[in-house]
């Protein structure tokens, strides 16, 4: 396994802690606002749960998730209550990302997983766990031999890059031509700022069916519910069924009360829109301060991060920020192509964002 990247930030955290105004930790994208009442109430009402939950998800959850995909993303899945499930709940999105190559039965195949040039580290972790190689590229490779899975991430973590419909269609065509599943991590899809992100399952991208395609979603960010561990896998019913069959053998079950909370979350748009506006305000204030401090922001048109650079090694920038009591994530965590950027998260309180703004602009 690769080293756990966050351990290498210990020195920067220690230096930032010396600031008289305290640490402003913008390194980890952990929500800090209250979980909305609609989720908390649904969780409490379902707390009497003596029996085992179902790996497939309750009928109410599957119906609510399908309605959410249609209403918010323009995606229509196959019959959610049918025998070939087009969607299932997952224990958050990270465990699914880490286990997907194994759940699809790719382990031991001496094949390669394609991930973006700048990418969430867990894509690589999942490949390593399954004994697979990793290849980084942002466009469909000319050579498909040995590739068994493709990960896309739009909006991207860490850089907030959004793939266009044309780019998504190119990957869909490539995957279908070569018989390689294409999986899109869309956990930030409701957080488009300068553009409206498109799901890989949208008919303008996928066509009338979702053959060979999967999309991963999460309530962690959009519903401020990272502690609930509620995620969703949707797409090709044949691929979803393969994942579901293994998950139920392994007992990878979303707790019943969490499934009830997920159902309530998918049924309610108001809390998502309210949280989005909180993040918009923090983004506007922090972005202006970052630019005033002489940094350039690249991409960042969606998601919960600013992808910033001073055109220097990222660890030099990390040290500069630590001197101000600010902790960021070095871009090198996300691949060699990120080595001159840092990631600044919007997931801090208004008070801590204001502190960061004051330090960056004074």
Instruction: Extract the tokens encoding 344.
Output: 């600044």
Q: Is domain 5-35+271-361 classified as CATH 3.40.50.2300?
A: no
pLDDT of residue 2: 65
| Span 224-241, average pLDDT | 97
CA distance 161 to 302: 7
Question: Which of 78-92, 122-136, 157-171 shows the lowest per-residue confidence on average (mean pLDDT)?
Answer: 78-92
Check whether 42 has a pLDDT greater than 70.
Answer: yes
Q: What is the CATH number of domain 47-267?
A: 3.40.640.10
Q: Looking at the chain, which residues constitute the CATH 3.40.640.10 domain(s)?
A: 47-267
CA atoms within 13 A on the CB side of 48: 1
Pair 308, 344: CB distance under 8 Å: yes
For the chain, what percent of residues have pLDDT higher than 90? 94
Q: Which residues contact 14 (CB under 8 A, 6 or more apart)?
A: none
* CATH 3.90.1150.10, the chain: domain bounds: 5-35+271-361
Judging by DSSP bridges, how do beta strands 213-218 and 230-235 pair with one another? antiparallel
What pLDDT, on the 0 to 100 scale, is given for residue 114? 98
Q: Is the dihedral of CA 316, 318, 319, 323 positive or negative?
A: positive
Residue 282 has pLDDT above 70, yes or no: yes
Judged on CB neighbours under 10 Å (0-12, 13-18, 19+), 346 is: buried
Confidence band for 321, pLDDT divided at 50, 70 and 90: very high
pLDDT at 226 (0 to 100): 97
pTM: 0.96
Q: What is the DSSP string of 184-252?
A: EE-TTTT-BSSS----TTSHHHH-S--TTEEEEEESTTTTT-GGG-EEEEEE-HHHHHHHHHHHHHHT-
What is the rounded CA–CA span in Å between residue 78 and residue 245?
A: 18
């Amino acid at each position: 396994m690769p080293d756990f990247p966050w351990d290498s930030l210990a020195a920067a955290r220690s230096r930032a802690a010396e600031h008289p105004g305290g640490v402003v930790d913008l390194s980890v994208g952990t929500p800090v606002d209250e979980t909305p009442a609609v989720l908390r109430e649904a969780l409490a009402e379902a707390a009497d749960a003596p029996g085992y939950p179902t790996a497939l998800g309750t009928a109410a959850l599957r119906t609510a998730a399908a309605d959410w995909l249609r209403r918010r993303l323009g995606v229509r899945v196959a019959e959610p209550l049918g025998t070939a499930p087009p969607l299932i709940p997952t224990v958050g999105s990270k465990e699914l990302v880490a286990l997907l190559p194994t759940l699809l039965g790719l382990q031991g195949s001496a094949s390669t997983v394609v991930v973006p040039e700048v990418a969430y580290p867990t894509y690589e972790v999942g490949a390593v766990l399954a004994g697979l190689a990793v290849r980084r590229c942002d466009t469909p490779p000319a050579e498909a031999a040995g590739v068994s899975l493709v990960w896309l991430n739009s909006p991207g973590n860490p850089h907030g890059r959004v793939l266009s419909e044309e780019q998504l269609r190119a990957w869909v065509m490539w995957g279908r031509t070569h018989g390689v599943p294409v999986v899109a991590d869309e956990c930030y899809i409701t957080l488009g700022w300068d553009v409206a992100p498109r799901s890989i399952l949208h008919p303008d991208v996928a066509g009338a069916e979702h053959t060979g395609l999967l999309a991963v979603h999460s309530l962690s960010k959009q519903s401020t519910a990272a502690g609930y561990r509620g995620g969703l896998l949707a797409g090709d019913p044949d691929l979803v069924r393969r994942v579901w069959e293994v998950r139920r053998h392994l007992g990878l079950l979303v707790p019943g009360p969490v499934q009830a909370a997920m159902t309530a979350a998918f049924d309610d748009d108001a809390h998502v829109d309210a949280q989005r506006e909180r993040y918009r305000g923090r983004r506007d204030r922090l972005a202006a301060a970052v630019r005033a401090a002489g940094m350039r922001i690249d991409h960042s048109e969606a998601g919960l991060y600013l992808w910033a650079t001073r055109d220097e090694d990222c660890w030099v920038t990390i040290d500069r920020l630590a001197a101000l009591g600010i902790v960021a994530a070095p871009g090198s965590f996300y691949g060699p192509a990120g080595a001159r950027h840092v990631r600044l998260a919007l997931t801090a309180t208004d008070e801590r964002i204001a502190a960061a703004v004051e330090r960056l602009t004074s």
